[in-house]
Amino acid sequence: MVQKDKSDETPEFQRKVILECPVAGIGFHDIKDIWDELYVGAKIALVRERNNKYDKNAVAVALADDYDGNPDEFDFNFILGYIPRQNNHAIAAILDMGWEEFIEAEISELNDHASYSDRLHITVYIRSKKPVKPKDNRIRIKYFNDDEEWNNFTDMLWQKGYSYFRWGGCSPWELELPEKGDKVVFIRKYERESELYLMMVIATGDDCAPFIDDIELLHAVEDSSLYVLTVVKGPVCAMNNGLAFLGKQLVGCQQPDVRLEKAASDALMEIIQYD
């Protein structure tokens, strides 16, 4: 059985944009001295300046490396500028409530020859409280071991634009069967070469009803479910020796209940030439 690639399970945080704005006041903070060090994507720190006598909601913009996280001991001489007064109310409130760990910012635009008011832009994000697991895009495969099954598949595909299959078995909840949006490579191996189709699941279970002629097929077998797939790319021909990296798992995949390891998945996508 193909094992999961643990590197693909590293969690990450979801982010949403809450503000895009120019940095105000950069002409007063010697930004010319470090301009060549700035780049799009550079991490920015937002520092609440509560004692600013001109703006009670002042939020300073500094390079992340120049800020240690303590606004009370921060030297405000080392800033790039400020979030504009008309844009800083919500950010100031978030920082005042102690939620600074959920705020991220980075440089999003640098305009060398623009006026100071339009030269440096940043984007501010709020990130999720809990990490989210990135979608596992590793490919599944299904192997066809006889011409009749393969011909039935390709005939339906070219007549309807999609094909359906019933997958599952004993204790189906223990299997990692495809979900809507997952991609599966269908493979028919001949003497010297193989024919491949890259397919995508577009419906599962009861959602397959619009695609089948006999509605009784939905629940015809208790421990399995219908899957409807449409073609993404194919047919693609590949020499069998070029698929050697799939090894014994090629002929063992009668249904796509496991994903390939990442290296094998990437290699298969390179053969199909699909990004």
The predicted pLDDT at position 221 comes to 72
pLDDT for 122 beyond 90: yes
Query: Which span out of 54-68, 119-133, 203-217, 236-250 was modeled with the highest average pLDDT?
Result: 54-68
The predicted pLDDT at position 253 comes to 66
The predicted pLDDT at position 267 comes to 93
Mean pLDDT of 232-259: 85
Mean pLDDT of 207-219: 85
The predicted pLDDT at position 171 comes to 60
3-state helix/strand/coil string of the chain: CCCCCHHHHCCECCEEEEEEEECECHHHCCHHHCHHHCCCCCEEEEEECCCCCCCCCCEEEEEHHHCCCCHHHCCCCCCCEECCHHHCHHHHHHHHCCCHHHEEEEEEEECCCCCHHHCEEEEEEEECCCCECCCCCCCEEEEECCHHHHHHHHHHHHHHCEEEEEEECCCHHHCCCCCCCCEEEEEEECCCEEEEEEEEEEEEHHHHHHHCCCHHHHHCCCCEEEEEEEEEEEEEEEEHHHHHHHCCHHHHCCCCCCCCCHHHHHHHHHHHCCC
The predicted pLDDT at position 135 comes to 78
210: left (phi over 0), alpha (psi -120 to 50) or beta: alpha
Q: Cα-flanking dihedrals φ and ψ of residue 151, to 5°?
A: -65, -40
Band (9; pLDDT cuts 50, 70, 90): low
Give the CB-side neighbour count of residue 62, counting CA atoms within 13 A: 22
> Between 169 and 3, whose confidence is greater?
169
- Token output for 99: 């939620």
Question: Average per-residue pLDDT in the chain?
Answer: 88
Mean pLDDT of 68-80: 91
With a CB cutoff of 8 Å and minimum separation 6, the contacts of 95 are: 46, 48, 59, 103
pLDDT for 217 beyond 50: yes
pLDDT for 225 beyond 50: yes
Mean pLDDT of 4-13: 56
- Token output for 43: 């991490």
